[in-house]
Amino acid sequence: MTAVTTPPKKQAQRGRPGQSSPKLAYLPIIFLAFAIGIPLLIIVVYSFLEKPSQGTGVKWVFTLENYKALFIQEKLDGTTALDTRYIKVLWTSFYYSVVTTVVTLVLSVPVAMWIATRDAKKRNLLVALVTLPFWISILIRTYGMRQIVADEGPIGKFLGIFNIEWSILYAPPATILGLIYVFLPFMILPIYASAERFDFRLAEAAYDLGAKRMTVVRRIILPSIRPGVISGIALVFIPALGSFLQSDMLGGGKTNMVANVIANNFGQARNWPFGSALAVLLIVLTLLFVLIMQGAAQRRGEKVELV
C-alpha cells in the first residue's frame, strides 16, 4: 500500500546500463509543481490575506487576523476573549483519529496474525477479502455504515426487541465507527505484510526454550511486526485526521472535524482566508505527525517510506 517500512536501501547507482536520462522526470515534476505545488502555495498565501467585503475569494491585503481568529474572538464592544470553537474542532479531529487508530490496531494485530498463519490458499483468499474494500468507493462504504447504525437499521431493530433504545447516528460514536470501518483495511494490510514475512520458527524456538505464550507475543512477535504497525498507524491516522465524509454523513454536521470546517469556509461560509489558515494548521499537524512516525521508525534503523 502507500507506506512501506523497509530497511535502509542503498543509493541507486548512477548510470547503470538501460537507465533513462533524468530529463524524463522533468515533465511530471513540472506538472506536479503546477497541480500540487501551486495549490498548496496558494493556501499558504491566502491564509495571510483578508476576506473581501462581499463575495468569495481574497482581498490582497496582508493580515494575521485569520490565525488570530483561530483562537481569539473579538467581541462587538472591542474586547477580546479566548475562542475555543476551533480548538475544539482540532481536538475533536485529533481525538477521533487517535481512537480510530487504537481500535483498528487492536483489531488488526490478531486478524493479521491469524491470516498469516493460515494455509497459503486460504491466506490468499483472506488477503483478497481484506483488500477488496480498498477498491470500493469510500462514499458507498460510509453510506452502508450509515444504514447499519441508523435508528431503524438492523442494530436498532434488534435492540428494539429488548426495548433498548439505539440512537447513535448523527452523534460522535457514529462518526468514529465510520472512521474505524473505512480505515480498518489500511491497518490490517501492512501488519499482515510484516507478519507474513515473520519466520514462525522463531516463535517455536522460544516455546521450546520455555517461554510463556505472552512472552513470545511480547518479545518475539510484536517486535517483528513493528514495521507494519508503524506503517499502519501512519496510514490510518493521517487520512482520519483530514477525513470529511464520515463526520458529514454519520455525524450529521454536529461533530465537525477540521476538514468539514475548511470545506464550509470555502463553501457556504465564504471565508477563504480563514479556511486557508485552518488548512495550513492541518498541514502543519500532519507533517508533525509524519516526523514523529519517521523518528519512531529511525530509532530502530528502519526507514518509513510514506511514498
Of residues 232 through 291, those in contact with another protein by CB under 8 A are 238-239, 241-245, 249, 258-259, 262-263, 266, 272, 275-276, 279, 282-283, 286-287, 290
Contact flag: residue 29 with another protein (CB under 8 A)? yes
- The rounded distance, in Å, linking the Cα atoms of 268 and 245 is 17
Closest distance to another protein from the beta carbon of 107 (Å): 6
DSSP β-ladder status, 4-6 and 80-82: unpaired
Site for another protein in 160-189 (CB under 8 A): 181, 184-185, 188
Backbone phi, psi, residue 298, to 5°: -70, -30
Cell numbers 452523534 label which residue?
171
Q: What is the size of the binding site for another protein (CB under 8 A)? A: 106
For 56, counting Cβ atoms within 10 Å of its Cβ (0-12 exposed, 13-18 middle, 19+ buried), the class is: exposed
One residue of 36, 61, 98, 222 binding another protein per CB under 8 A: 36
Site for another protein in 127-146 (CB under 8 A): 127, 129-130, 132-133, 135-141, 143-146
One residue of 73, 207, 224, 226 binding another protein per CB under 8 A: 207
One residue of 84, 117, 167, 215 binding another protein per CB under 8 A: 117
- The rounded distance, in Å, linking the Cα atoms of 43 and 272 is 9
Coil, helix or strand for 50?
strand
One residue of 7, 20, 53, 54 binding another protein per CB under 8 A: 20
Stretch that binds another protein, among 61-69, 73-81, 151-159, 168-176 (CB under 8 A): 151-159
Helix boundaries (H) for 117-171:
120-131, 138-149, 154-161
Site for another protein in 63-82 (CB under 8 A): none
Query: Cα separations (Å) of 277 from 66, 84, 154, 193, 272?
Result: 6, 16, 42, 38, 9
